[in-house]
Amino acid sequence: MTTDVLIRVEGLEKHFGGKIHALNGVSAEIRKGEVVVIIGPSGSGKSTFLRCLNLLEMPSAGRITFEGVDITDPKVNINQHRQKMGMVFQHFNLFPNMTVLKNMTVAPVTLHKKSREAAEVLAKQLLERVGLADRAGAYPNQLSGGQKQRIAIVRALCMEPDVMLFDEPTSALDPEMVGEVLDVMKQLAREGMTMVVVTHEMGFAREVGDRVIFMDGGRIIEQGTPEQVFEHPENPRLKEFLGKIL
């Protein structure tokens, strides 16, 4: 067994209400430093799969091993492991009554027991990196959608996670704001952050992904390098999907 596998997923199943089979025997590995991009039609199970990785969605069956620990074991303290998994959603989930700086430091101070000073130093460094150093004292309602999403990303980074999970992080943004968020994600990828990204942004998948996974009907239908998936797709369903969106 290779030691560079960060997340191993085995036989993942997810049922909703007994009728909807959202995930159907999904197995996958995410390696350290890898950028894995998950694509597929709406309702294919992409977001459900992502949300199962940190147990925001509890699998109906199967096993997820994160950093060598079976986090689906009921005896495991999942909150402890979640702190090592940054999560960025479609909607920014910022606390509206807190400044940007407070949004970024509240979790490291309360969960990691970091000193406020140390948390603020890191937060300001991260804001500088995404071009928002001047917005530390602003409130979320004073920010554009693109700014809010960049803050959501660096807020997750304040916890110094080992992997970042992105659930369609640009789908709620105006088109002209998408680029500024993708630029931050590209920078993270260049720095070696392990990332799992559910997205409709095929340009990002091609440019940044080390591996692209195509899901449909709750299954992984095909996966490979961006070149393999986009230039030489094998599965008819993937060919059909790409034919409609490219």
Arithmetic mean of pLDDT over the chain: 94
Give dist(CA 140, CA 98) in Å, integer.
8
Q: Centre a 10 Å sphere on the Cβ of residue 182 and count the other Cβ atoms it contains.
A: 21
Whether residue 2 is predicted with pLDDT greater than 80 in this model: the reply is no
pLDDT in tens, 116-139: 999 999 999 999 999 999 999 999
Look at the block and give the residue holding tokens 């709620």: 172
Identify the band that residue 246 occupies on the pLDDT scale cut at 50, 70 and 90: confident
Whole-angstrom Cα Rg for the chain: 18
DSSP characters for the chain? --TTEEEEEEEEEEEETTTEEEEEEEEEEEETT-EEEEE--TTSSHHHHHHHHTTSS--SEEEEEETTEETTSTTS-HHHHHTTEEEE-SS----TTS-HHHHHHHHHHHTS---HHHHHHHHHHHHHHTT-GGGTT--GGGS-HHHHHHHHHHHHHTT--SEEEEESTTTTS-HHHHHHHHHHHHHHHHTT-EEEEE-S-HHHHHHH-SEEEEEETTEEEEEE-HHHHHHS--SHHHHHHHHHH-
Q: What is the pTM of this model?
A: 0.94
Contact 168, 90 (CB under 8 A): yes
The model's pLDDT over 195-245, given as tens digits with 9 standing for 90+, comes to 999 999 999 999 999 999 999 999 999 999 999 999 999 999 999 999 998
Over the stretch 33-85, which tens digit does the pLDDT of each residue have? 999 999 999 999 999 999 999 999 999 999 999 999 999 999 999 999 999 99
The Cα angle at residue 71 between residues 82 and 215, in degrees rounded to 5: 85
Query: What is the pLDDT confidence band of residue 3, given thresholds at 50, 70 and 90?
Result: low
